[in-house]
Amino acid sequence: MQRGNTHFKCSDCGKVFKAPDIEYMATSYSVPQPCPRCGKCHTFPLRNWPLGKRLYRQIWKEHDK
């Protein structure tokens, strides 16, 4: 479910950008959105970091498979 827009940060290139805030598997976390600068999906919403650091690393790992 889309919950509006939020600010994401790319962990690879550091770009901060605004993107759709889409619910990740019925949790309070957001689906990582592709970075407009480098195109990678190792992104996280600024509001969930650093509390979700471990979870987002797991999400990225699953996404990279």
pLDDT, one tens digit per residue, over 3-57 is 999 999 999 999 999 999 999 888 888 999 999 999 999 999 988 666 667 888 8
CATH class of 2-64: mainly beta
Distance from C-alpha of 53 to C-alpha of 43, rounded to nearest angstrom: 11
Please report the pLDDT score of residue 63 as a whole number. Answer: 83
Question: According to the model, what pLDDT value does residue 49 have?
Answer: 66
Distance separating alpha carbons of residues 19 and 37, to the nearest angstrom: 13
Backbone angles phi, psi at 60, to 5 degrees: -60, -40
Q: What is the pLDDT at residue 20? A: 95
